[in-house]
Structure formats: structure tokens, C-alpha cells
A and B are shown apart, each in its own frame.
Chain A
Amino acid sequence: EAGVVQSPRYKIIEKKQPVAFWCNPISGHNTLYWYLQNLGQGPELLIRYENEEAVDDSQLPKDRFSAERLKGVDSTLKIQPAELGDSAVYLCASSSRRGAGNEQFFGPGTRLTVL
């Protein structure tokens, strides 16, 4: 079974440019998460989807960040415009209600560098 797929793996952009990250969760997982992870820190939740509905986006900086999961499967996270402080790893995870303790399975992440 394929795991969570993310692309691109690495992205380098100049500040004020837009950037988008893509995530394809494990097949059958209805819950999808986007996390931000700074160096030496644990992941911080940005947004959680239950199918196509965003049920927790309280930590998403809505002035520049947006996300969508139109068909309840894959998802896109966008930053426009990017700032220097957005440099981090963006992790996507998915889970199933049938999993033990709703275990979240993580993708490899996209490392963003804003110059």
C-alpha cells in the first residue's frame, strides 16, 4: 500500500512569490492534515479536513495561506505571497477512523526555502 505522497519534496522561491504544495493521502483515509514543522520543533497543525470539509483551520494564517480538498481525496496548500519566515517543512498526514487510536500517517514533507 502506498503511503502519503507529497510533492514537490523541495522548493526554493524568492519572497513575495506564490507557492503550492500537493498531498495525496493513503487510499480510504477520510481525514487529512497539513502541518508546519520548523527546524528542531515538533509539527504544528495548520488545517484538518474531514473528507472535503475543513473542520479545524484555527491555526492557518488566512491572510496568506489557503488550502483545498475539493473531492475529499488529494489536497493543495498554497502560500501567497511567501515571506522569509515561511521557510519550514510542510508535512501532510492522513488517518482513518478505523485505525488504532486514529493513527496519523505522515508524508515525507516539502522543504520550503524562501530567499
Chain B
Amino acid sequence: KNQVEQSPQSLIILEGKNCTLQCNYTVSPFSNLRWYKQDTGRGPVSLTIMTFSENTKSNGRYTATLDADTKQSSLHITASQLSDSASYICVVSAEGNKLVFGAGTILRVKS
């Protein structure tokens, strides 16, 4: 069964600190993996996309990594800001552009 599991479920950090979110998947065949940021009351917005051959992708203070062998991905946020408070959703694309969503990690950045 195609599944995406994320950890932790929620996280609270102080402004300026770094954090790493984890994503494990069992989707096959694999097409690509995206990290989405979803602010409260808004739809998800894509942060990064990685295909099978890509190990890392950066978007400003966001850096995603992918290990296709172990089927794991991480999203590292550097020097967190209050505006980073959101839900971060890992999404794996299977064949036929069918997306499998994780439940998300709720991040809260405190001042």
C-alpha cells in the first residue's frame, strides 16, 4: 500500500533555531517527492521537488534531501522565522501523477 509517514507530528522551536522534519514513504513506482508548506487557512504551496536522481534541493532557508534507497526524505529549515509556523506536508508522486500525501508536521516558531 502506498503510504507517506511524517515525523514528528508537531514541533515547537525558538525563533532563529534550525529544525529537521522527516518523511518516510513506501510509494512505488516513485516519480518525484515534494515538500509543501500550508499556512493556516490556506492551500498548500510547493517548496521543493526532487526526482529519483536528486539528493538535495534548496529553496532559500529550506533544504530538502532525498535518499531513494532507504525511501527517506528530510526538510531542514535554517534560522527559523515566525513566518515559518505552518504545516509541512511531504507528498510523493506515483505513476500517473497520483499524489500520496503525508499527514504533515505542524511547526510552531516561538519568539
Contact = CB atoms under 8 A, between A and B. Distances in A.
A43 B101 contact: yes
Interface string B70-98: 00000000000000000001010100011
A106 interface: yes
A100 B47 CA distance: 13
Interface residues of A, number: 21
Main secondary structure of the interface of B (DSSP, over half): strand
Interface residues of B, number: 23
A108 B97 contact: no
A53 to B, nearest CB: 15
Contact of B102 (A42, A56, A106, A108): A42
B92 to A, nearest CB: 11
A40 B31 CA distance: 26
B12 interface: no
B102 to A, nearest CB: 5
B1 interface: no
Contact of B51 (A101, A104, A107, A111): A101
Given A40-B104, A42-B89, A101-B34, A93 B43 contact: yes
A25 interface: no
Given A4-B43, A91-B43, A101 B101 contact: no
Contact of B44 (A56, A106, A111): A106
Given A102-B97, A111-B41, 8 more contacts: A40-B106, A91-B44, A100-B49, A101-B31, A103-B34, A103-B49, A104-B99, A109-B43
Interface of B: 4, 31-32, 34, 41-46, 49, 51, 89, 91, 93, 97-99, 101-104, 106
> Which are the 10 A-B pairs with shortest beta-carbon distances?
A106-B43, A42-B101, A101-B32, A102-B97, A106-B44, A101-B49, A41-B103, A107-B43, A42-B103, A108-B42
Interface of A: 4, 40-45, 56, 91, 93, 95, 100-104, 106-109, 111
